[in-house]
């Protein structure tokens, strides 16, 4: 059983690698971004609220995100392990996740941080915007999201590094090569 999260700047390959890791380990992927986008597409109340933030490249407020993750982690399919993608992104969300897991007498096993050069990330996200028509991937919003990542999310990385469960992995290269580096890093932690 593996309970983990994958973290990294927008465009670092988290979603792609999350699918591969989950397939390899037999665990469920939980992507807050996918859940928000599904709600936006379905025009649910949560989706309408989240869209305002997503379209500006801002994080959805912790109150909304925390409630969603708490509900998701209470579902039966996470019993054999999970991979969180896109959560936690702030120090407050780390505290909330700690509380959620402690209530179930669980803890995270590993945190994988994908790293990549900013200019490569901008290039990747522009390509994704063209392919998928995502409104949150124009250059101004991309650079804003990268700034937010550095300002808020890197504190999260530091907290997990202090616990000794952080594995930094270069997110650049062929997909199979990156997946192998991640799986090796997971085994090392």
> Does residue 157 contact residue 146 with C-beta atoms inside 8 Å?
no
Kindly report the CATH number that applies to the domain delimited by 2-182: 3.40.50.300
pLDDT tens profile 59-112:
788 887 888 788 889 889 999 999 999 899 888 999 999 999 999 999 999 999
Diameter of the chain by CA atoms? 44
pLDDT tens profile 173-183:
999 999 999 99
Active site residues: 14, 89, 128, 134, 145
Domain ranges of the chain: 2-182
Residue 12 labeled ligand binder: yes
Question: How far is the C-alpha of 189 from the C-alpha of 184, rounded, in Å?
Answer: 9
Residue 163 labeled ligand binder: no
Residue 61 labeled ligand binder: no
């Amino acid at each position: 059983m593996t309970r983990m999260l994958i973290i990294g700047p927008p465009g670092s390959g988290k979603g792609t690698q999350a699918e591969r890791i989950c397939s390899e380990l037999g665990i469920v992927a939980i992507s807050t971004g996918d859940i928000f986008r599904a709600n936006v597409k379905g025009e649910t109340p949560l989706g309408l609220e989240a869209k305002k933030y997503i379209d500006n490249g801002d994080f959805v407020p912790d109150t909304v995100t925390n409630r969603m993750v708490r509900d998701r982690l209470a579902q039966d399919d996470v019993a054999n392990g999970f991979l969180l993608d896109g959560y936690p992104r702030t120090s407050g969300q780390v505290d909330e996740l700690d509380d959620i897991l402690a209530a179930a007498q669980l803890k995270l096993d590993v945190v994988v941080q994908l790293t990549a050069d900013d200019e490569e990330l901008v290039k990747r996200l522009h390509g994704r915007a063209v392919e998928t028509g995502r409104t949150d991937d124009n250059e101004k919003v991309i650079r804003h999201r990268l700034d937010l990542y550095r300002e808020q999310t890197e504190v999260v990385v530091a907290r997990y590094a202090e616990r000794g469960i952080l594995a930094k992995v270069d997110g650049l290269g062929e997909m199979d090569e990156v997946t192998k580096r991640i799986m090796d890093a997971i085994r090392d932690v």
